[in-house]
Amino acid sequence: MEVRMYDGQTLKQAFKSAEALLEKRIDEINALNVFPVPDGDTGINMYLTLQSANEALKDNLSPSAAEIASKAAMGALMGARGNSGVIFSQIMRGLAKGLECKEQFSAYDFAQALHFASETAYKSIAEPVEGTILTVIRESAVTAMQKAQQGADLPQTMTAVTIQAKDTVIRTPEMLPTLKEAGVVDAGGKGLFYFFQGMKNFMVHKMNPVEGYQAVRHKAKLAADDSVYGYDLQFLIEGQNMPVEEIRRQVNAMGESVLVVGDESLIRVHIHTKISQAVMDYCAAYGCLKDIINDNMDYQVENFKTRSSREVPSVKPSC
């Protein structure tokens, strides 16, 4: 089975997606903050640390996973705020260590990087305490490795990581009496869960939008039920490191007379389909769509029939 590889821009966009989600959850995470000091700033500190990591990547277009991870880790360290921010920066440092020297990475590589992230975070604390962000990163790393070893791709692995992180966060009060007494889960752990969830949102719905594609395809099919021929759809996709074979396989399942040709940076798509919007939505996840032609073949056939009937000369019956 072919192992799918991912580049540094995948990480960059996933980190940005995580920042957007974490920003929305700042107040929620702050309200959970009772350990180690109930000062109500875990949410803002983790957000500002991740924001600093992303700021370091702002103009970086490198496809190198090693470079993107390293720059993000340095940015996180430079902008780390508070106890939670410093620990989070060490998680980012561990991810960078795990992706060191890798231009591209697989789901298995990412799982290994999470293992390094867990190790680095634990080593940064003189007296590690379970029931905190440390437990969440450790158990998430274990789940990632199990999933990757089963042959899962990155979106599937990240989905499993998110589910595990959520489960671990729910159990934190059973590990840490301070949390149980306050009736809350660990704030840092909850922040890390949202970090993973934000990354997962990008990986599942943007980078490899199988779930999103299925939903769009269903809606498009309902709209196309009355169509006989569908649409003659053509366009170009401009992007970076695009998986041509994967795109060809998915587009083939969406219509007939399919042609998907090109390379990692430029792909030409032609298809006869009744769900042209679903095709475009899927392909747009990989790059910018240009020179779109989406002709309604039902109209074309009707116009041809009408034109043909007008052009046929009348023939008088012979005597």
- The domains of the chain, with CATH numbers, are 8-208 (1.25.40.340), 211-305 (3.30.70)
Beta bridge partners of 231: 273, 296
Neighbour tally for 286: CB within 10 Å: 23
What are the φ/ψ torsions at residue 281 (nearest 5 degrees)?
A: -60, -40
More confident of the two residues 304 and 99 = 99
Q: Is 167 exposed, middle or buried (0-12, 13-18, 19+ CB in 10 A)?
A: middle
Section 275-298 average pLDDT: 85
pLDDT at 303: 63
pLDDT, tens only, 199-233: 999 988 765 444 444 444 444 444 444 556 688 89
Section 77-98 average pLDDT: 94
In the sheet with 256-262, reading across from the earlier edge strand, the strands are 256-262, 266-273, 231-239, 287-296
What are the φ/ψ torsions at residue 43 (nearest 5 degrees)?
A: -60, -50
pLDDT at 281: 82
Does position 101 have pLDDT exceeding 50, yes or no? yes
Q: pLDDT averaged over the chain?
A: 86
Asked whether 195 and 18 are in contact (CB, 8 A), the reply is yes
3-state secondary structure 146-183: HHHHCCCCHHHHHHHHHHHHHHHHHHHHHHCHHHHHHC
Q: How many CA atoms lie within 13 A of 266 on its CB side?
A: 2
> Residue 64, SS3?
coil
Which of 202, 232, 197, 214 is CA-nearest to residue 281?
Answer: 214
Neighbour tally for 258: CB within 10 Å: 16
Query: CA geometry: angle at 12 spanning 48 and 128, to 5°?
Result: 50
